Structure formats: structure tokens, C-alpha cells
Structure 1
Amino acid sequence: MASLGPRGPGGLFGGRFGGPLARFRRARAGSRLDQALYLFSIYIVPGLIAFSTIVVLLLLPRQYPSTSSGPLTFRALNDKTSTLTPASAINALANAPAVNHFSTKLAESPIWFTFSAPVTSTHLTTLVEFPSRHAQTLECWTVPALQSLGRASRDAVSGAMRTVKAGFAVSLGKPASPTQLLCRGTFSGPAQLTVEAVNAEQLRNSALDFQESSGLIAGGLLTLAVFVFVTAIINREWTYVIFAMWLVGNLRLCANAMGWDTEWLDRVIPPADLPLLRKVTFAAYYLLTGALFSQLFRRELKIVGYRWLLRVAQNVGLVLLVLSIPLSYAHFIPALWVLGGFGISVLIFLLTRLLWKARSRTVMWYVASLAVVLLATFSEVLGAAFGVRQLAAGVSPVLAALTSSMMAAFAIAEQMRAEREHRRQAQVELRNTYEVTPIGLFTLDSRGRFVRANPALREMLAMQKSDYGLRHWNDYFEPGAWGSLQALSLKGRNSEIEIGGSEAHGTADRRYLLKAITSNDWIEGSLQDVTERSKAIDRLRFLAEHDPLTGSLNRRGLEKAIATQSENAALWTLAYIDLDRFKLINDLFGHRSGDEVLKQVADRVLARFHDDFSFGRMGGDEFVCVMNETSIDEAVELCTRLLAELNEIPYQVGSRAFQVKASIGLVECSHGVRVQDALSHADRACREAKESRHNRLVVYRKGAAAFEQRAAELKLVESFGRNQLPAGLFLVMQPIMSLTAPTESLNFEVLLRMRAADGKVVTPDKIISAAEESGNIAALDKWVVSTTLDWIETNQKSLPKTRFICVNLNGGSLNDERFTEEIFALFIRYRSILRYLCLEITESVALHDLGNTQRFINRVHDMGAKIALDDFGAGYTSFRYLKSLSADALKIDGEFVRSMCSHPADVAIVEALVALAHNLGMRSVAEWVEDLDTLKALHEIGVDYVQGYVVAKPQECSAILLADSAASFVADPLVARFIESLSDQSAHSPVPNIA
């Protein structure tokens, strides 16, 4: 067997750096070393530091040990009048009790006190310390000589006086025996006066310890605050900015409690500015505490409720901040106790609820921090307020500040941990959702290459993970897809587009819905395969503008094509095609046969017209063709050949052959014509062609009279705007003459007219047609009724012979509930004159809804007005229904009256109608009476009233007021002579009335 060679360099594991096993061992060894260093740095070093710190704090002595004999006993009194002298003060103090501390209770008047200073050392200087940070001035004398030892204030010292720590001290030298002293001091705030005797070394150590503590707290909290602030700004975590400011506030409150808030960063604050600075500090700290609480527990507060209570407490803080400016320090402190106490109570209440309901570690740490603050920071305030000396001096401010800040930091850290865990879970959920979502998700780099994609997208595009970084967006989609995606990503989250697939990938027939945004120079988006939906939408779009039976355009598509043609073409034509008697095919042979005929008609039209024409089915058996770039003469030639093809060649459906005739209306249209106008003109021409027996093609050339007539009709319709009536409406009145007593009554019918802008009078049929077409017929009827009632009320005294005034109501108005309610509201207003009013209703409308009509008639009668059935005999009246209508009069249709003398049958009809009216207890009124023979025939038949040109044409309202009776308007002498004979016969007859 051949030798494998030495197991060293150049052997089996040889090589410059060794073989694979050697490299594996070195890598493993390096990994173990990194892990050991990691564990050492994370666990061992911090543990050693913490353990050694505890040992040092518990076992090792302080660097500057300070001891004293404790507070001295003294006598003190408040000079409220500020009038005592040193001598009188000594006498007054003789009766004062001996105490070892004295509370000023916010008094700013002088405090006198006397005490005996012991000898503290035989070889060191004896000093007396007055450790009160609220002391403003101090002056001392020896007793009984009253020799001044000097004066001290926050600005300057003199004699044996000096400033020490937060208060003052007086040096007594090296006395051989105790020294009796008298002192006078002034204070600001809730001061606690104590007196301590120390030697020079003790005072030095105490001062150094004081400075060390102040440096420790200031340096520690400021460093922590700066670190938190910088971290918050970089990470844009604004809650931690509030925490950084709260730490600075905590620092200032600790400095205030210790008495070194007179400086900031080794710079002395002017004494005059200290009261305002302290007040603002207290108020700002209150607001910061509330803001930090609100931000830390914004989610939990939604659970525990009472957010309104927190808002009240925050508003109280604003009040406190405002009060800090005008109030003096002595008056501000009580306000701080009251308002601050309320805010603390609110926080304690909410924290209790948070502990009970939320039970999170963040809440627990914050409760502990707040508890320390309440116990330590406000201990002096509470001690001064209630006079409890032990409460005021029970907790070290340095320890309290560091502890509360550390616990608040724990709360912040716990909050950060909870939020990080929440984000981690959200990321896991997002990653899982990314993997399982059925919508394709992707990320592209700035060059358009895939960075990642979820399984749905990879399956959709047949992509492999190995394609990441290699495949470009354009590889999978239609040309220009990358540019479309870039433009889309800049529009925002709510934008989306559709793109097509790639021919190279065999997905050219696929459609995709794309959404995308730009993020960190990458493009992220989603992709959905919407091919089926796109096809369905295309089909719906087709059906929206096409007729499903013939495949040609439907009404909507035709209107769109006409609008386009009207906007772009200067001159074009429109053909309207209608099949004659097509309904018979459907009725006799079924709709399938009719549908097949319609398809063949459409095929013939499309075969005759070229593809540039827009052709479609309006509905039923009506078709329209938009003939663009075609003159009217060319269109006439095309339509003539089309008519021959449609009318002469039978339509084969199965074994049957149908012969169908068509009519065409052809109109010449111009630029800017409205769609509805063009269709209306063409429809009108087609109807004219259908009515003609010989000419099945009717052509309206530009400027035809039919155009002008229809334009005038449309203009009139437009004048009836929404809820408004056109100008120029007025009323005329046509007399209705009694044949029983012609000269004894003045009755008439109110008729509607309209004066156009050119001064011409528009006939009522056109006015009513326009009102009906615009949907304003009810408003028009209301105007007629209200105007009539107003005219009657105004001219009632001029109408002594008037028994009734007829006003015609349109059928559409009668069936409008809103109109009827408005009419009866008018009747209530004009109830005193309703006896004149007679409403005319056509019989066809009355019988359309018999129950509704009867109810309407009953209400009219209850109000005192009358009802007449108009155009009676023109419809298909059933006498069985007639007896159910309690009308007051029948107005016989004028078609029977006008021709009754020439057609004996009409005489018989009129005679029957008159007899019917009398038998039903109604009056009869004959319309359209135009000659004397008809008038005489009506008199012989027994008609009660006549109306027509034989009596008078419609008159102006003023003419009615000047007339004596309806007979006064008769102009024909023969008619007048006949009426006179009637008057002589009825001289003693009562005046008839519609009752």
C-alpha cells in the first residue's frame, strides 16, 4: 500500500494553513473563546462590580466622616411686628420654651433665638452651624454684652459669620467655657431652624461630604439625562425625551432638598432669582411627572379608564405653572401643597388601578419610583406643613433622588423591553403572514432586480430563490413594466395599476394588479393575478355599452358615440330606424322569433354601413346609426338602399319567413348639438315616417321647421327649472253661461297662458307638456290654484253674481300626495272663499285610482269647494264607477258638442250624458259651443251651462270684473237675441248653481 505521507505540512492535513480538520478546530476554538469573553463581559464583570459596591457601602468608612454633638437646645420667638431690639428680645425669650428645632411656618418676619454654645474642642476652633437652606439673613450677638459677632446674608458676610453648605455658621474661636449667644434671622419658605455646635474639622468634613454628595447626584443624574436625551433624539423616541427632562427635574428637587440648588454646573445663581426658579421648578416637575405617566401608560390607561381625571390633574399643573409667576414664594408654597397634593392623589389612584388591572412590571417600577419621590422629595414640604420634624429629615435626598431615578429608568427599560418584544412578535407575525399570504409580495433593488419574494409570487411567476439578484422586473412582464412600476411607487400607497405578462414567459394573456411604494431606495409592493377579474370587467364594460342580443351598441353606448361626434364633427347625420308592427311577431310566434329577426336586422344594417359608423339598438325594435363624415345627401342614398334591403327581403327564422317593414328618420346634425336633442329630432322624423303611408324615409335637413319647433319646446322645458316656474305665466278667464238664467250669473273657467320673451303667447297645451316633461306639473297646478284663490279673495266684492270658478287639475298632480297636502293647506288659508272654487278632474284620471279620487273629492267637499268631471265621454267610462264619484258637475267633451248638429249620433250621445248627469244630481256643462244652432240644440236637450266661442273667448281678468254677467260678452246679435229670449222666459226662475 502506498504511503499516505507524513501527517504534517504537506501530508494528509498539509497545506500552508493546515487541512480542513485543522481549520475546523481553529474555528471552533475561536468560537469558544468569543463565547467565554461574552459571558465574562455580560455576567461576571457586572456581578463583581455590583457585589463590590455593596461591600464598600456596608463595610468601608466614608471618606469625609462628619460627626456632631447633635442639635442644641434653644429658645425662639417670632417677631411678627419686627420691632424688637436685642435687649428686648432677650427679655421676651426668657419666657419662651426650650426646643431643639423651630418651624417658621412660612413666616418671613424676624425670628429671635438664644442658646448656649458648648466648647467642642480644646485645640480646635468652635463653630455654631445653622443648617437651614431657607435662611436669608443671620446676625448674632454675645450675651449679656450684646457684642455683635457679624452679619450674614445670601449676598455677603461680615465679622465671624460665614456661609457653610446650604446655611450659615458663626466662629467662636477657642473659648474656655460655653458661650451664650443671641441671634436674629429671617427665612423664606417652610424653614426648620436648628442649631449645631461643631469644631473646625467636623465642619470641614461635613462641608466636603455635602459637596461630594451634591457632585455625585448632579453628575450621575445629568449624565443619565444626557444619555437618555441623546438616545431619544437619535431614535426619535419622544417619550424618553420627557424622561430625560424629568431626570433634570428630579435633580433640581434633590438639590432644593439638600440646599445646593443655589448653583448650576458650578455657577452661582443670583439669590434674587432663586424664589422664582424654585417655584417654576416645582410646577414644571409636576407637569413632567404627569406627561411621563401619560406617555408610559397610554395603552394601559385605555383599559383602566379615568383618563378624564388625568387630564384634570394635568390642567391643575398648568394652573400651578401660571401661579408660579405672580405669587410670592410664601403664598406659592400653600398652593403647591393643595394642588400638588391633588395631582399626587390622582397619580396614586391611577397607579393603584394600573397595578390591579394591568399588573405589568413597568407599572411596578414606576410605582416604586413615585413612592420614593413622594416619601423623600416632598418630605420636607409635608413636614413643614404638619410640623413633623422626623418626617422632614428622615430620608437622604441623595439616596432618594438616585433611587427614584434608577427605578424610573427601570420602568423605562421595562417599557422598552415590552415594546421590543411587541415588535419582535409583530415581526414574526409579519414574516409568517409574508410567507402564507396568497397575494404576491416582493422587494426590488434600485436597478429593478428581485431582492426577495414570498412563495405566492414565486409560484405566480415560476421564480426560484436562486433567481434573486439575477432576474429583472422586465423579465416577467410586458415591455415598459419597469418604468410603470417606478412611476407607481412614487404616487403613494393608495395607487394601483394593471400590467400584462410577458410573451417570453408565455403569460402575455395574464393581467396583474400592482401596488408599490419606495422604501429606503428599494421598491416594495404586491402583485395579484386578476386575469379572470379583468376579463369579467371587460365583459361588464362591453355590456355596459353594448346590446347583448345584437352585439351592437346599446342606448348608453349610442349616447356616448353621439356626444363624441357632436364635439368633434362640424356636420354629421343621424338615422333612427323603427320596425313597423314588430310586436305581432313576438305575440304570435314568441320572443325567440322576434329576437332572431332583430339580429338579422342588425346584421343587414352593419353589412350596409361601413365600420366607421356607430350603430346600436335603442331598445325594443328601434335602432340608431351615427353616420360620421357623411353628408345628408349621401346619407339619404345609403338609407334608401337600406330600406329596400330591410323591407323587401324576408327574414328567415327556421321554417318561417317574416316580412318586416322599417321606417327611418334621418336628421342633419351640426357641431355642439346636445345628445338628447339629436335623438329627439331623429325620433320625431322616424315617427313622421311611420305615420306616412307612402314615404318610409323622412329627412330633416339643417334649419328645418321641425328643428325650430323642437328647440322651442326644449327651451320651454328648460324654463321649468328645479322647483321653479318660468317667468311670464298669467291667467285668463272664459265665461260659462247659464242657459236657465243667462244674465243672472257670471261664472267662468280659469285658463293658463304664458307670454314668451318675444311677446308671443304660448298655448296651454305646450305649457302643460313642458311642465310634465320637466316634472314640475304639480308646482304649476299649485301656482294656478294659489293665484286664483288670491285673485278671488282680492276681488270678491266685485263678483256678486259669481257662483263658481272652474280650475283644471292635471292627473299627475292629483296622484302626488305632497301636492294634495299643499293644496289643502291652501284651502285652509282661503277657506272663506272656497265656495267659489270648482276643481275640474278628467274622468280617465278620476277612474285611474277610484279610491284615492273619492277620498280627494270628499275632502274638497268638506272644505266647501266643488268638483267637476272634465272631458266626460272622451274616455272609456264605466257608469258603474260613475255613481261612486260624488261630483257636482259633468263637463261634456267638446268633440261631441262641436259636431252634434252635423252628426245625429252626437246629439243622442249628448242628450244621454245630460240625462245621466241630471239623474245623478249633477249639473251639465257643454264645452266648445261655437254657433247658434248648437246653442239652441243644447238648450232643447236641457244642458245647464255652455262654454265656448259662441259666448266669448278667454278674457283678461280685468274684463271679468267689468262685466255684469256671462251674457254680457256675447257679440253676435242673433245669439244675443236668443239669449234675451231665454232671459225673458226665466225672469222668475232661480239662478242655477253647481251644488
Structure 2
Amino acid sequence: MASATLFSLSKFRHTGSWLDRALYAFSVYIVPILIAGGTIATLLLLPRQYQATGAITLPFHVLNEHKASLAPADAFARLHDAPSTTRFSTQLSETPIWFTFTAPAMGAAHPTLIEFPSRHAQTLSCWVASSMQPLGHADRQSATGEMRAVKAGFSVYLGFLANPVPLLCRGTFSGPAQLTALAWDSPNLRNSALDFQEASGLIGGGLLTLAVFVFVTAIINREWTYVIFAVWLVGNLRLCANAMGWDTQWLDRAIPPDWMPLLRQVTFAAYYLLTGALFSQLFRRELRSIGYRWLLRAGQYVGLVLFALALVLPYSRFIPALWGLGGFGIGVLIFLLARLVWLARSRTVLWYVASLGIVLFATFSEVLGAAFGLKLLFGGVNTVMAALSSSMMAAFAIAEQMRAEREHRRQAQTELRNTYEVTPIGLFTLDSNGHFVRANPALRAMLDLHKSDYKARHWNDYFEAGAWGALQALASKGSDGELEMGGALARGTAERRYLLKAIRSNGWVEGSLQDVTERSKAIERLRFLAEHDPLTASLNRRGVEKAIAVESEETLPWALAYVDLDRFKLVNDLFGHRAGDEVLKQVASRMRAHFDRGYAVGRIGGDEFVCVMSDTSIDDAIAQCHELIALLSDAPYQVGNRAFQVKASIGLVECSRGVRVQDALSHADRACREAKKVAHTRLVTYRKGAAAFEERAEELRLVETLGRNRLPAGLFLVMQPIMSLSAPTESLNFEVLLRLRAPDGSTLPAGKVIVAAEESGNIAAIDRWVITTLLAWIEKHQESLPNTQFICVNLSGGSLNDEQFMEDIFALFAQYRSIVHYLCLEITESVALHDLENTQRFIARVHDMGGKIALDDFGAGYTSFKYLKALSADALKIDGEFIRTMCAHPADIAIVEAIVALARNLGMRSVAEWVEDADTLRALQEIGVDYVQGFLVAKPQESAAILAASSAASFVRDPEVVSFIECLSEPDQALAYGYEWRARMGTH
């Protein structure tokens, strides 16, 4: 029984399937083919329902009433001499027209009627010419007597005529009127009128239906281009109605005649603008490739002018403007249409081009007909066919456009489906309860999810607690948010991390899921490395600064310890960086173990550590730091089979609320440097209010001042004389020194200014100012310096390596070329050897300009005779440390003697600095030093004092030195002093 039932149901389903396919084929293929075939056969084989034949075109004589009005009899008399014609154009004239013709007898069976088919006729009156019997009067509102309104014009009823009857008529016209007279019998005129009404109804209903269909489709699909097309179809309908003569009505409602001129003008102008707008919208992509956008833009501006003229000009004047401007617009569209057909040959474009082409051709025909009497289309039927053909092709274009869009959507759906399947990112759709509706292969593989489990599995089954609520909150935010969540412990994915994006759509939740476990681990590692040292796992400089910034906002006491390892460099140099790295790890480990109170410990340099001792008094911090020194310094560091001993020094600073991070680090660093100088203490503490704080604060303020301003206020120059030992009273040479006057009037020493300028990065600007100011001063006072051979000025290492500074300086030298020979630029030995090739080029350029070069502080660095040979300096300035102690240490005398002999043999002058006593002066003179400089000769002087002096010896005030200088000019006396000095030195 059950099997029989199943067989019956199967048979029924099979039967139903066959019947559905047959009905579908019948409806889709057979019926449309029958309708199309029947329509074609009907048009070709069957007669028209309202077949009208037998119209006779009558010749007539016409007279234009230009001036005074004529009586019918006078007009008829004058018409005898008028020429005969079958078609008369008013040429836009609105003056009355008289015409006469002979109405034929159409037969005894039917009455005779005369039709005047002019849609521009406004009034018409007729008389029987032989008796001047009036037949009636007609206008666009009413008709009297035998006159009637028929089709687009008027007609006169003559009854049953046995013989021809001459008629006289008078009419008025507006616009480009064409006057003709047609003789009909009654049945044929009635058929012609019915045919006219059928044609108008056909085109009106067809175009309105199509326009409504397009408009509704456009509104539903939000395709605003098709809204323009729908309105354009209505304009097409109105133009066709105007051509056929039934534009005086709309939807079976008569439009008042007084409105017609303005309505027609606005219709023509609006249709022009609509055609241009539709054209530019439909072919906006194609127009980019065919060019001539400027030509289309010109046509659109012409349309605006035409619309403005439609509102202000009378009908008779507007029509010529329409012919001219409309002809230009038609020409532009025809040209662009031709290029579209040639360059963009898609089917949609071809259908649109055909539709617009027919309309433009019909419109062009009307223009030619109205302007020149040339008709390319004849009769209302052709006008109807043109309008319907245009609309039909437009419908084909819309259908083709829909087909193309549907095909595009189908391809997009296919591509989307393929992308959905192959994308490596997990994609999913959940219902409102959190169960799976859809998932791509990537998500199924990621979660080990099967299609059969969609309805059984919930989102919470695969993720951490609260995952479904978090997903709903994320989906409510829209597409901008994203969320990272962990896996489910029950499924063994708790260590996994997933990045989630989701939105709500049609009551579902759709989103994407990525496994970002490795990325999350990498981010955590990067976050750790951003504030930690990868070698020791302690904080790095950024982490330390962050910890200091946090602590500086607290009100509790705290301190900052700066730890430096004293002998760590030996470990790196003797046993390599691997051993050094191991020592650093052990140092960090000991520090963290010692500070068990949660202090922030960080490494901010190679062997420099910092500890932020939060909530700790300074006394407690001192005690802990002593313990730390013992912990770090006493126990050796075991690395492999070696043990290393490293000593630690600590600078400890008591900090307060609001201290700046850089200030705290700077104070602690300075305290640590002081601790390294103390052999046994190894701990230096700065308490609040310590003098070191104020000194460093002053230095930092100076650095900030130099950093903010290119040139700080208060800069000035002083000059220290350099005395020649061969002719002390005959030369006035000196060194230019920089000073800065503080706001309180005190003078800051050059050392502080230079250090601050170098820290702020402003040293090049300072050096540029010094040299610029000095050159200007020399140029101004050159005549007051007759005994000056050279003027020394220091040049810092930072400036020497600044290419822009070099270019600026040599540009200054070129500007002051006549006085550059006074300059002797001093560069230190270490700076000169830093980049030997660059220094050689610099010295060569200075010599080419006429300047001199001196090596400053010679002997203080790692002097190499090889490098000295490569530097063609003009003078050596011996480091003052040798000069100051030479009389107490014979080794210093030997060094100075060697340097002087070296300079002499290399053709250089020697200059001794820091000369402060007479014995040192005598010793230098005996050794053979060329020039001396120091407080014994003179302290730095103001520029006015230099200009008032005749030589460097003029500044000496010590009587013993004055006597020595006087003896230098007497050889015998100088020799005696030399023997005396050697005898005294021998007693030591």
C-alpha cells in the first residue's frame, strides 16, 4: 500500500514537471511568435480601418493684407492678379491672408467639404465669391455657420454641389504656417479625421505608457538617468503632437489657445535641454574616450540661452532663434553620435543612437520644412512611425541595458561566490540566535566545523566565555570596529587568538575571522621590546623614562640611582662581547634580586643601569645603594670557566614631585661621574637643594636657550694678546674668545657656552656668528692694526663636519677676501684626525683663500707624527697642561722642547698657552718657542683695548716680565738671562 502511494506521488511529480515545461515553452516562445507574425501579416495584408482617399489639392490665388484692412469684395478683386499656387508659406507673418479658389463638385451622392490642414491657423472666414454670402467663421475656440474644426485645422461644408463654386477666404496664422486647400467628400474626410485621431491616440498612449514604465522602473531602482529618459519621452510625445497638430490637448483636456505660444516655446527649449542632459548621462563613459567634451558643453550652454529666449520672446521671433540654435545643437549631437557609433560599438550604445537619431532626423525635417519648405517626412503617419520607432528602439536600449546589468550582476555574483569559497580568511553568517547559517571552507577548517553542524553549533562553542555577547556588540557598531578574542578551552584552542569583524545584515550577523595567534605573539614581543632591553630583560631608556614620568607625578618620596660599571670595558676588550653580555645579564639579575620592592630597573647604556626607587626616603636609598655596590663589586661574575671582577659606581639623586625626566637622569648621571672619580666611596648622593642641582639646572637652561634661538642674546667677543718672543714690542697678534653675558649682568665662561651649544646642536650657528662678526670688525678697523700678522679663532669639530657651515664660511671668505690673511683658524688635533681627508681639503681651501691654520692643544691627544706630516698647518699651539707644569717636571720640558723642534723642522710656528709665571716664560724663550699666550702677558681684553695698543707687550704689567722683555731686544743681556735660568734650573 505504501509503495503504491509513493509510486503515485512520483508519477504525479513527473507529470507536473512535464506540464510545467510545456506551459513555459508555450508562453515564452509560441505565443510571442504568433503575436509577432500575426501583427506583421495584418500590417501587410489587411486594409486600414479608416482608409481615406479622394482628396484633391486645389490651386488658389493668395494675397497678403499688409496694410489697411480690405473688404471681401476689394480683396476678391485684387486676387484676380495674384499668382496661383497649391502651397503657400506665411514666412512667419501674422498679417491676414486672403485667398480664393474654386471648390469642385465631388458628386451627387456625397456633400463636398474643403479642408485647410494647417495647425498654425488661428482664424478662418469664408464667403461664396459670386454673391459674397458668408459661410461662417472659425477660430481655436469656436466655429459658426458652415465652418468646423477638423484634425489640426479647419473645414467648410458646401453641401451637394452640382457645379464648381468659387470661394473667398480670409485667415490669420502664427508661426511657420503652410497654407493648402483640400477638397473631400464627406465619408473620406470623416475617415481621415478618424485616422488622425487613431494615430494621435496610438502615439500618445504608447509613449505615455513607455514613459510611465521607465519612470516607475527608475524610481524603484533609483536610476536617475532613466528618470531623465522618461521625461524626455514625454517631450518626444509633445513634439510629435506639435508636428501632427494635436498639441492643443493633453490627456483629453483642451489647452486654452492663449497658452499655446508660450507652452510650445517652453516645450521646444526644455526638450533641447533634456536631449543634451540625457545624451551626456547615457554616454558619460563613452564621451570620455571620444573627446570633444567642450563641443557638448557649448551645445548645453546654447540650450540655456534658448530656454531664456523662450520666456521673453514672442512666438514669431522665437521660431527663428529656435531654427538657428536648434540647428547648432542638432549638428553637435549628430557629430557626437557618429563618433559614438564609430568608436563605441556596444549594442546598448547602438540602440540609443538609433533612437536619438530617428528623433533628431524627424526634428531636423520639421525645421527644414518650416524654414525652407523642404519636407523629409510626409504626413502624420510618418511622424507617428518616427516617434513610435524611436520609442521602440529606446525600449530595446533599456532592455539591452538591463540585460547587460543582469549579466554583470551574474558575473559579480559568480566572482563573489568563488571568492567566498577560496578566500583564506574565514567568512561566516549567523542567525539571530548565534547559530551558523553559512561558512566558507577557510572558516570550517579554522574551527573544525562541518556543514551538518551548522544548526547544532553555537558561536560560544568555539570561543572564550562571553564571545556571543561581544560579537553582537561589535556587529552593532557597523563595519568600522574589530575585536580580538581567544579560543575555547573545551576545544583545546584557548591559546589561539582570532581577529573578528562583523556587521548586521537582514537580521543576520555576517563577518570575517582571522587566526592572528602568531601576530599577537609578535605584537606582545614588540610591545615588550619597545620598553625593555632584549639582552637583560630590564627596562630600556624609553621604559625608564616612562617609569620616571609616572613616579614624578606621585607625592611620595623617591630617588633615582644611576649605576655604572667601572672595569666592564676590559671584559669586552679582552674576552669579547659574548662574555661582556653574560656579565651584563648577571648584573641585571643581581639588581632585580636586590631590589625586591618592585623598583623599576633598566639598562640605558652599554654598562649603565638605572633604578627608580619609588616610595623610598633618601636615607633608605643610600643604605640600599651601599648594599648594591657591595653586591655588584665584591662577588665575581662566573662566565664559563672564567671569573670576572667588576666594580660599580652609583650616583644617587633625591627627587621630588614634578621633576622632569631628562633633568632627573642628567643629575643622576652627573652624580655617577663624580662617584667614579672618588676611588673608595663609589657613591655620590645629591640631596634636595644641592649646589650641583643648581649648576646643572643652569647648564640645562643654557642648552635650552641655545636650542630655542639660533643666536642667543648677550653674545660678545674678547681678545687675548699673543706675544712674540723674537720681537715682543713689534707685533700685536691675539686670539678671539667667545663670551655670553647673562641676564643678571654676569659673564659666562666660554667653556660653558661651547658645551651648551654642542649639546643643543647650535654650535655651527655660534661659530658662523663669531667669524662673521670678526671679519666685519677687522674690515672696519684694519687701518688700526698695522702690527697684526694673525688673529686666532677657534673652530669646533661639529662645525668642521657641517657641509652647510663650510659653504657659508667660504662664501664669507670670498666676500672679505682682502682681509682673510689675518685669520688663523684653530682646530684641535682630535678633530683634525677624525676625518683626515676632509681636514686636508679644508686646510687646502683656507690656504687658497689666504688664511692660516693652527693645530690647537697639540700633545693632549693621541699624537701621531704620520698624521702630523699629512696636515699642512701653519702653527702648533702646545697644550697648556705641559706649559703650566714644565718648570716642576723636567719631562714636560723635554716634551715641549720636542714639540718646538718638530714644529720648527716642519716649517710651523709654535705657540705656548697658559703661560702664568716668569720662570715659565724664560724657559720657553730658551727652548725657542715663537709665541706665548697666558695671563702673564694679558687676560682677555675688550676690542677697544686692542685697538689702543701698539703691541702685545703693551699689556704686560709684571715688572720682572717687563725687564725680561726689554732684555729680549738686547742680545747680550738676553744671553745672560739664559745662563742664569739654566743655572737655576740645574739646582732643581
TM-score by length of 1: 0.88
Which amino acid in the other structure matches residue 351 of structure 1?
Answer: L
Match of 2:694 in 1: 708
Deviations 1:312-366 (A, max 9, x none): 6555545554554455413322333432223322332233125xx54x3323322
1:500 corresponds, among 486, 509, 530, to 486
Distance 1:28 1:543, change over 3 A: same
Alignment of 1:181-196 (within 5 A): 181=167, 187-196=173-182
Task: Give the CA deviation at 1:820.
Answer: 0.8
Match of 1:129 in 2: 115
Alignment of 1:182-261 (within 5 A): 187-261=173-247
Deviations 1:897-955 (A, max 9, x none): 33344444444544554455455444444333334444454455554444332333223
Distance 1:753 1:165, change over 3 A: farther
Match of 1:654 in 2: 640
Match of 2:436 in 1: 450
Percent of counterpart pairs with the same letter? 71
Match of 2:833 in 1: 847
Match of 2:981 in 1: none
Deviates more, 1:378-387 or 1:26-35: 26-35
Distance in 1, matches of 2:165 and 2:938, equals 139
Match of 1:23 in 2: 9
Match of 1:342 in 2: 331
Distance in 2, matches of 1:319 and 1:187, equals 27
Distance in 1, matches of 2:557 and 2:321, equals 90
User: Is 2:107–2:162's contact at 8 Å kept on the other side of the alignment?
Assistant: no
Match of 1:471 in 2: 457
Match of 2:739 in 1: 753
Alignment of 1:569-584 (within 5 A): 570-584=556-570
1:116 corresponds, among 75, 78, 102, to 102
1:857 corresponds, among 818, 837, 843, to 843
Deviations 1:21-69 (A, max 9, x none): 3333444444444444444443444444444444444444444443452
Which amino acid in the other structure matches residue 677 of structure 1?
Answer: D
Which amino acid in the other structure matches residue 827 of structure 1?
Answer: F
Match of 2:749 in 1: 763
Distance 1:580 1:383, change over 3 A: same
Distance 1:242 1:470, change over 3 A: farther
User: Is 1:950–1:970's contact at 8 Å kept on the other side of the alignment?
Assistant: yes
Which amino acid in the other structure matches residue 322 of structure 2?
Answer: I
Match of 1:264 in 2: 250
Distance in 2, matches of 1:75 and 1:828, equals 105
Task: Give the CA deviation at 1:241.
Answer: 1.8
Distance 1:24 1:771, change over 3 A: same
Alignment of 1:416-495 (within 5 A): 416-495=402-481
Task: Give the CA deviation at 1:236.
Answer: 1.7
User: Is 1:128–1:197's contact at 8 Å kept on the other side of the alignment?
Assistant: yes
Task: Give the CA deviation at 1:371.
Answer: 3.2
Distance in 2, matches of 1:722 and 1:511, equals 48
Match of 1:774 in 2: 760
* 2:356 is aligned with 1:367: no
Which amino acid in the other structure matches residue 627 of structure 1?
Answer: M
Distance in 2, matches of 1:797 and 1:156, equals 119
Match of 2:518 in 1: 532
User: Is 1:131–1:195's contact at 8 Å kept on the other side of the alignment?
Assistant: yes
User: Is 2:341–2:350's contact at 8 Å kept on the other side of the alignment?
Assistant: no
User: Is 1:566–1:673's contact at 8 Å kept on the other side of the alignment?
Assistant: yes
Q: Any unmatched runs of 5+ in structure 1?
A: 1-11, 987-995
Deviates more, 1:57-66 or 1:254-263: 57-66
User: Is 2:334–2:357's contact at 8 Å kept on the other side of the alignment?
Assistant: no
Which amino acid in the other structure matches residue 765 of structure 1?
Answer: G
Match of 1:680 in 2: 666
Task: Give the CA deviation at 1:524.
Answer: 0.8
* SS of the residue 1:260 aligns to: coil
Task: Give the CA deviation at 1:139.
Answer: 5.6
* SS of the residue 2:688 aligns to: coil
* 2:778 is aligned with 1:789: no
* SS of the residue 1:261 aligns to: coil
Distance in 2, matches of 1:429 and 1:385, equals 57
Match of 1:9 in 2: none
Which amino acid in the other structure matches residue 429 of structure 1?
Answer: E
* 2:626 is aligned with 1:637: no
Deviations 1:454-479 (A, max 9, x none): 22212222223233344332222112
* SS of the residue 1:516 aligns to: strand
Distance in 2, matches of 1:590 and 1:566, equals 39
* SS of the residue 2:707 aligns to: coil
Distance in 1, matches of 2:84 and 2:635, equals 137
Distance in 1, matches of 2:774 and 2:128, equals 117
Which amino acid in the other structure matches residue 475 of structure 2?
Answer: S
Distance 1:447 1:283, change over 3 A: farther
Deviates more, 1:683-692 or 1:826-835: 826-835
Distance in 2, matches of 1:667 and 1:851, equals 45
Distance in 2, matches of 1:747 and 1:761, equals 24
Distance in 1, matches of 2:522 and 2:903, equals 65
Task: Give the CA deviation at 1:626.
Answer: 2.3
Deviates more, 1:640-649 or 1:293-302: 293-302
Match of 1:896 in 2: 882
Match of 1:990 in 2: none
Match of 1:875 in 2: 861
Distance in 2, matches of 1:78 and 1:568, equals 110
Distance in 2, matches of 1:88 and 1:952, equals 137
Alignment of 1:272-421 (within 5 A): 272-298=258-284, 314=300, 317-318=303-304, 320-322=306-308, 324-326=310-312, 328-354=317-343, 358=345, 360-391=346-377, 393=379, 396-421=382-407
Match of 1:726 in 2: 712
User: Is 2:720–2:737's contact at 8 Å kept on the other side of the alignment?
Assistant: yes
User: Is 2:330–2:360's contact at 8 Å kept on the other side of the alignment?
Assistant: no
Which amino acid in the other structure matches residue 425 of structure 2?
Answer: I
* SS of the residue 1:396 aligns to: helix
Distance in 2, matches of 1:66 and 1:799, equals 127
Distance in 2, matches of 1:857 and 1:112, equals 114
Deviates more, 1:702-711 or 1:741-750: 741-750
1:598 corresponds, among 584, 588, 597, to 584
Q: Any unmatched runs of 5+ in structure 2?
A: 973-988
What is the CA RMSD across the aligned residues, in angstroms?
A: 3.6
Task: Give the CA deviation at 1:514.
Answer: 0.9
* SS of the residue 1:333 aligns to: helix
Distance 1:77 1:832, change over 3 A: farther
Distance in 2, matches of 1:367 and 1:74, equals 43
* SS of the residue 2:548 aligns to: helix
Match of 1:955 in 2: 941
Distance 1:286 1:448, change over 3 A: farther
Task: Give the CA deviation at 1:487.
Answer: 2.9
Match of 1:71 in 2: 57
Task: Give the CA deviation at 1:973.
Answer: 5.0
TM-score by length of 2: 0.89
Distance 1:109 1:880, change over 3 A: farther
Distance in 1, matches of 2:18 and 2:604, equals 87
Distance 1:926 1:608, change over 3 A: closer
Task: Give the CA deviation at 1:740.
Answer: 5.2
User: Is 1:806–1:838's contact at 8 Å kept on the other side of the alignment?
Assistant: yes
User: Is 1:189–1:333's contact at 8 Å kept on the other side of the alignment?
Assistant: no
* SS of the residue 2:58 aligns to: coil
Which amino acid in the other structure matches residue 338 of structure 2?
Answer: F
Distance 1:189 1:807, change over 3 A: farther
Distance in 2, matches of 1:237 and 1:712, equals 74
Distance 1:122 1:826, change over 3 A: farther
Q: How many correspondences in the alignment?
A: 968
Distance in 2, matches of 1:88 and 1:929, equals 142
Distance in 2, matches of 1:832 and 1:193, equals 105
Deviations 1:772-828 (A, max 9, x none): 122222122112222333344455565555544332211111111111112222333
